[in-house]
A and B are shown apart, each in its own frame.
Chain A
Amino acid sequence: MTHHDEGKELQVGKKQEVSGQAEQTRSGPVFIPAVDIFETRNEINLVADMPGVTPENLNIDLRENTLTISGEIPPYEEKNEEDLLIEYEVGQYFRQFTIPELIDQDKIDARLEDGCLRLVLPKAEAAKPRKIEIKAQ
């Protein structure tokens, strides 16, 4: 059994639901995807858990300083299925971030892998940290 092995056990994280979203036009629950955001010298990386999302129904939008990721999961159940146990729901994903750095929009790379969105936002030249040389007299 794996849980006798060393290592952390994965805890269940209940899907977080958006409570009041004014601009929601479609019915159904809206979930906030869990994300990791990390920054290296040249880029900002974002990884979001969005299980069920396909490239066709995923939207990534960067406008000015606001990055929006949204997706929609259509109901998966067939008509002839009867529910026995329902622990999670599907619906829309929606989350917005403010990106303070200047981003080189042409070089943004988005990948969808096993239900995780991986977004690489390269910093524009102007936004990269620059080492200031101190000249000795």
Chain B
Amino acid sequence: MFTRGLWNFPAHGMRAHFGELDRMRRHLDQIFGQLEQPAAVARGAGVFPLVNLTETQDNYIIRGEIPGVPADKLDIQTMGRNITISGERQIDIDPNAKYHRRERESGRFSRAIALPGDIDRDKVSATLKNGVLELTIPKAQAAKPRKIDIK
């Protein structure tokens, strides 16, 4: 099928090729995904900020590195099971200075994270410390594991 595609549509040959690789990668991901912890959330979408999501019995915890963004430039919203972190990172450029390195980037960002279970959105708490944001999101009662007593 790939060969035919290549001959008939030379321009699409490469795409067909990558398509095949993509499928293979997805397939492998599936296999490995089954071995690992259940992948509750889509893999890194490549959107700022990168986040780490963990859970305890009672909470989900989201952490993200957002250096140089003060709390008042940060907006956190919840909707259903989704948490959105958005804001803007501003970097003042001194027009009179001579720049030797400029590696730090500025701009707006918005990141949505879908949590695997229902949450108690009224009790979400957030701390910003040394450029690290930490959100503690209590699980909804229904989403918590419950121990069943055996009589």
Which residues of A are found within 8 Å of B35, using beta-carbon distances?
none
Q: With A12-B47, A51-B65, A115-B68 in contact, do A5 and B108 touch (Cβ < 8 Å)?
A: yes
* A38 contacts B99, C-beta separation under 8 Å: yes
Q: Is the CB of B41 within 8 A of A85?
A: yes
Q: Given A38-B94, A38-B97, A87-B52, A9 and B61 touching (CB < 8 A)?
A: no
Interface centre among B47, B106, B131 (most CB of A within 10 A): B131
- The majority secondary structure among interface residues of chain A is loop
Which stretch of B4-12, B20-28, B83-91, B118-126 is in the interface? B83-91
Check if A3 sits within 8 Å of B104, measured CB to CB.
no
Judged by a CB distance under 8 angstroms, whether B13 is at the interface is no
* Min CB–CB distance A12 → chain B (angstroms): 4
State the interface size on chain B (CB cutoff 8 A).
54
Q: Kindly state the separation between the CA atoms of A10 and B50 in the bound complex, as whole angstroms.
A: 12
Question: Are A49 and B104 neighbours in the complex by a CB distance under 8 Å?
Answer: yes
CA distance A45 to B101 in the complex (A): 10
Asked whether, in the complex, the Cβ of B57 is within 8 Å of the Cβ of A80, the reply is yes
Q: In the complex, are the beta carbons of A3 and B108 less than 8 A apart?
A: yes
B51 touches A87 (CB 8 A): yes
**B-contact 0/1 string along A74-86, CB 8 Å cutoff:** 0011101111111
Contact between B50 and A35 (Cβ–Cβ < 8 Å)? no
The interface of chain B, by Cβ under 8 A from chain A, is 37, 39-41, 43-44, 46-57, 60-61, 63, 65-70, 75, 86-89, 91, 94, 96-110, 116, 128, 130-132
For the complex of A and B, 9 pairs with smallest distance between CB atoms: A115-B131, A115-B67, A51-B131, A10-B107, A51-B65, A8-B107, A38-B97, A87-B50, A81-B54
Q: Show 15 A/B contacts (Cβ-Cβ < 8 Å), sorted by A.
A: A2-B75, A7-B108, A11-B107, A36-B99, A37-B100, A39-B98, A39-B99, A40-B94, A49-B68, A52-B132, A83-B52, A85-B44, A85-B52, A114-B67, A114-B70
